[in-house]
Amino acid sequence: MQRFEEFGQLLFPTRCFGCNVIGLPICAKCRREWHPHYYSTHIANLQVHSGVMYSPIASKIILAAKENGLAGADTLVIDSIIHVFSLARFNDHNIRLVPIPSSPSARRRRGRSFIVDITSKIGRQLSLPVSDSLELCRKVVDQSGLNATARAENMVGAFALKRGAFPRGDLILIDDVVTTGATLTEAARVLRLRGLHVLASVTACVAQPLR
């Protein structure tokens, strides 16, 4: 076994998710950029709690998890969200985690629904129930190049409650990155419209919104 691992290291040496340097899954320099803190922002009528400030390095870590499915990068994203839970003091509430779903095409490409997968692991680690109750009900475009107004328009009416889903309790929306909050506030709107209680959102990263 040891032999195979050594052989694997020769062929596919461990590289830093942030800067690709050979050695650790995250090098000391990138660890300084991806070191969970605690940020809390209020967007529309949703409180969003996040662990890491978005940066080029954070972007690479998110991509390594999301697009390449690298377990070590998943762990960094999960750890950031769990760190936020340890500081956000949700303890008095009847918490239920609701992941932001991916589009069917992203799901096919990645072989999983990224946030749903991450959220179920977080639920297991924190012993919190997860309710995968949202779905995308129409096509949305990639948000990365869009400004705040275009993002909001892109997301209007994009989510629906899955058939038969009725997540009770104090719902916490889980996502990887919050930028303008267009995705999260739209998801919260759909849940609230059905009389459900959205308490807050927790994301791994927070990015400065484009104006």
24 lies in the site for Zn ion, by CB under 5 A: no
Nearer to Zn ion, 18 or 51 (CB): 18
Q: If you search the block for the tokens 């290291």, which residue do you land on?
A: 9
Shortest distance in whole angstroms from residue 65 CB to Zn ion: 15
Residue 29 or 139: the one with the smaller Cβ distance to Zn ion is: 29
CA distances from 27 to 21, 131, 156 (A): 8, 35, 40
Stretch of 11-19, 64-72, 80-88, 121-129 lying at the interface with Zn ion (CB under 5 A): 11-19
β-bridge mates for residue 175, sequence order: 203
Residue 88 found at the interface with Zn ion (CB under 5 A): no
Residue 19, interface with Zn ion (CB under 5 A)?
Answer: yes
Taking CB under 5 A as the criterion, the residue among 27, 84, 134, 177 binding Zn ion is 27
DSSP track, 163-185? TT----SEEEEEEEEESSSHHHH
16 binds Zn ion (CB under 5 A): yes
Neighbouring residues of 122: CB distance < 8 A, sequence distance ≥ 6: 78, 81, 82, 85, 97, 128, 130, 174
CB of 71 to Zn ion, least distance (A): 17
Number of residues that bind Zn ion (CB under 5 A): 5
Determine if 101 is a binding residue for Zn ion (CB under 5 A): no
Rounded-to-integer distance, Cα 188 and Cα 157, Å: 11
Q: How far apart are CA 170 and CA 15, in angstroms?
A: 40
Return residues touching Zn ion (CB under 5 A): 16, 18-19, 27, 30
